[in-house]
Amino acid sequence: MLRLGDNFITSLNKVYGIYTLGFLGFVILMAILEVAGVSNTIIGWLFVAFTVLIYALIGVLSRTMQSSQYYVAGREVPAVYNGMATAADWMSGASFIAMAGGIYLKGYPYMGFLVGWTGGYVLVASLIAPYLRKFGCYTVPDFIGTRYGGNLPRICAVIILVVASFTYVTAQINGTGTVAARALQIPFEVGVWIGLAGILFCSMLGGMRAVTWTQVAQYIVLIIAYLIPVFWMSNKLGYGLIPHLAQFDAVSRVQELEGLLGVKELLPTAEAQAEAGKLAALKVGINDASATAMANWKFFTLVLCMMAGTASLPHVLMRYFTTASVKAARQSVGWSLLFICLLYLTAPALATFTKLSLLDPTVATSIIGKSISEVSNLEWIQQWSNVGFLKLVDGNGDGILQINEFFMRGDIVVLATPEMAGLPYVISGLVAAGGLAAAMSTADGLLLAIANALSHDLYYKVIDPKADTSRRLVVARVLLLFIGAAGAFVASLKLTSILGAVAWAFCFANSGLFFPLVLGVWWKRANKAGAVAGMIGGFGVGFWYLYMVQFGGMTPWYGIDGLRFGMIGMPVSLILMIVVSLMTEEPDQETQDMVDAIRVPKGKAVLAADH
Amino acid sequence: MSKQIEHWGKTKSLLWITLIIWAFFAFIIHLFGTSLNGSFPGAYYMAGQGAQLAFVILTFWFASRQNKIDEEFGFSEDD
């Protein structure tokens, strides 16, 4: 049967060029079908089925039985393509679906996520990734275990990795379920399992190799799907050709409208809010920079937690193990960030233009200030009210829709924008395919990170060091299946919102892993006892604080809420690691030589290519 | 061995320069958000576009500088 051969790497530009043209052709074909009168449901199905089949096909063609291919894609992924794969790995359902909506509803303070989720890559490039690449490890616990020596640090790292990544992956499977349910008109619980099947097809047979090449394909779909509607809106509203440049006039206009419509004065009445439940009305200005010390502190802590989390999340770091060299790993971080910014720089523009479409009375699609009976007859209002994503509550009973009477879920900004702005349905199908690609690609990376840590670090390194390659790879696949099923099961319980779970994952990772990783490279004196104390202490205290704030009814200290509990875990981890390291013996000569070796790109890797 | 110490010294200085520029765009600039806002939405710009562009340029710049340091001491992979 067909399988990707060695010449695949040399013809990447051709393969993905044809793929991109093919996808655009498919979108045009769907547009033609829509004009020809094919129903929306069928177009939605075709979008999802076509893209998921392509990913599964790439996954099957990339199957492998070699451990270096399975764990690190043979270390031959070019920097630019690894950048694209990392961008897809990184940008989750939260980035694609929730981010623009967050900026829409929560305004300027929310943009801390944008700063944190990009600036973290500066830390990845300068502090960690190139050194881990030189080390030659397969997984992040592989580095911790070898650098600090012994099974205890390795097991601590595995536990933190599993907790952080599993928290994150349930949010992604939840995202695939939400999108699949909407696009295919099926129940959410069924959507979750269909999403999981697609995810497993991409990763089971080919491990990291398969995930890499499907993630590149998924990046292309998600970026096209994110950009087209925003370009369309910017031009339709008459602000200019390039939304990224045109958005600033639109921001000024939105600020003007905020004054006219009373965004900050006209708050929802208690009864109206109770009726709307978890849905939210617009209460925050789009450009209200931090004016108080507390606002500045909250912005600062959010940015810091997200940055340190970026630099310690294993599914991101392990992408840089796949490049051909240390130099390529460093450049690849730059490419990742560039590809990520293509989407992240578009999110505020999307939020702003959506706001204009809804608020500006001179725009035909606006709803604020119109009569409630007229607005509730709009097709998209009805559709999204039916699934509980938005609600109109006439708080003052005057029959006119005011700003404090329109309640919605943030997710709607991306998913419903095409309908709100009056774009054809083919764009909605495209956005659904993009959201699915974003959630699936991140779930792929996370599931693989968990399964690899358990199969390589726990099973092979700790439980059965004599296991042969084929046995290890079978174990890895069986684990993938079980963890995926567990993730889908938890996701189907709908415990947390997409964004809450994502921010927790970042704080779990930075509380437990950030300093053991950074000091492992930058401080030779760091030893086993210090690393273990730093991991257990940071992670344990962070976990305790999150529990107390979220479920124990404790008042957060200095505004450090559940999104920012890394502000508690990280300092504990740093202090314990330094104090305990200094109180115990310095690492032996062999370990110090190992640190010297990873600090220069030249020379052999610390771990053999096939370990 | 001294060559390695010198190489690591230069690597560390580059790291500090990188981290100072990073901290400026990650934290410091946003403290002055209200002053950046005038007829042009400066706070929105820095949080939604300016900082990100600075990070992209900084990362590529860092990669090329670090590569030059490695080459200077004959520590790059091609040597």
DSSP-assigned states of every residue in A151-210: HHHHHHHHHHHHHHHHHHHHHHHHHHHHHHHHHHT--HHHHHHHHHHHHHHHHTTTHHHH
Q: Band the pLDDT of A388: cuts 50, 70, 90.
A: confident
Separation CA B55–CA A278 (nearest Å): 35
Domain residues for B14?
Answer: 7-72
Report how far residue A229's alpha carbon sits from residue A299's, in angstroms, rounded to the nearest whole number: 29
For residue B27, give the nearest of A303, A327, A600 by CB distance: A303
pLDDT digits (tens, 9 = 90+) for A325-369: 999 999 999 999 999 999 999 999 999 988 888 888 888 888 888
Confidence at residue A501, expressed as pLDDT on a 0 to 100 scale: 74
Res A609 pLDDT > 70? no
Residue A196 — pLDDT band, cuts 50, 70, 90? Answer: confident
Two tokens, residue A431? 């956005």
Q: What is the pLDDT of residues A23-39, one digit of tens each?
A: 999 999 999 999 999 88
Give the count of domains, chain A: 1
- The answer to whether residue A388 is domain-embedded is no
Of residues B33, B48, B59, nearest to A348 (C-beta): B48
Could A119 and B76 be called an inter-chain contact, meaning their C-beta atoms sit closer than 8 Å?
Answer: no
Q: Smallest Cα–Cα separation from A230: which of A364, A418, A34?
A: A418
Nearest to B4 among A287, A326, A600 (CB): A600
Range of the domain at A225: 6-270+278-358+422-598
Q: Is B2 among the domain residues?
A: no
A338 at the B interface (CB within 8 A)? yes
pLDDT band of residue A185 (cuts 50, 70, 90) is confident
Q: List the single residue in B7, B49, B75 with the smallest CB-CB distance to A244.
A: B49
User: Strand A406-408 to strand A390-392: parallel, antiparallel, or no bridges (unpaired)?
Assistant: antiparallel
Residues of A in contact with B75 (CB under 8 A): 600-602
Task: Indicate which CATH number applies to the domain containing A133.
Answer: 1.20.1730.10
β-bridge mates for residue A392, sequence order: A406
- Residue A247: inside a domain, yes or no? yes
Is residue B78 a part of any domain in this protein?
A: no
Burial of B73 (0-12, 13-18, 19+ CB in 10 A): middle
Q: Coil, strand or helix: which one is A390? A: strand
Q: Does A341 touch chain B (CB under 8 A)?
A: yes
In a domain, A479, yes or no: yes
* Distance in angstroms (rounded) separating the CA atoms of residues A457 and A141: 7
Count of CB pairs separated by less than 8 Å, A with B: 146
Residue B52 to chain A, least CA–CA distance (Å): 6
| The pair of three-digit structure tokens given for residue A371, joined into one six-digit string | 């009569």
* Stronger pLDDT, A377 or A500, i.e. the higher one: A377
| A251/B63 CB distance under 8 A | no
Q: Kindly give, in sequence order, each residue whose CB lies less than 8 Å from that of residue A216, ignoring residues fewer than 6 positions away.
A: A16, A81, A84, A85, A88
Distance (Å, whole) CA A214 – CA B49: 29
Cα(B71)–Cα(B66) distance, integer angstroms: 9
pLDDT reported for residue A495: 66
**CA–CA separation, A128 and A134 (whole Å):** 10
pLDDT score of A549: 86
Q: State the best of A75, A82, A122 to mutate against chain B, taking most chain B CBs within 10 Å.
A: A122
The model's pTM is: 0.93
Looking at residue A497, what is its pLDDT?
61
Instruction: State how far the Cα of A144 lies from the Cα of A317, in Å rounded to an integer.
Output: 13
d(Cα A433, Cα A179) in Å, to the nearest integer?
8
For the stretch A448-478, pLDDT in tens is 999 889 988 888 888 888 888 888 888 888 8
Is B79 part of any domain?
A: no
pLDDT beyond 90 at A500:
no
Show residues of chain A in contact with B37, CB under 8 Å.
Answer: 287, 289
In a domain, A406, yes or no: no
Task: List pLDDT tens digits, range A252-298.
Answer: 888 888 888 878 888 888 888 888 888 888 888 888 877 788 889 99
Whether B40 is covered by a domain: the verdict is yes
Determine whether the interchain pair A602/B77 forms a contact, defined as Cβ–Cβ distance below 8 Å: yes
pLDDT value for A523: 94
Report chain B residues whose CB lies below 8 A from the CB of A122: 18-19, 22, 26, 55, 58-59, 62
Q: Chain A within 8 Å of B13 (Cβ-Cβ)?
A: no
Question: How many domains does the structure of chain B reveal?
Answer: 1
Of A111, A251, A601, the CB nearest to B70: A601
SS3 assignment, position A420:
helix
**Position A1 pLDDT exceeds 60:** no
Q: Is the predicted pLDDT of residue A184 greater than 80, yes or no?
A: no
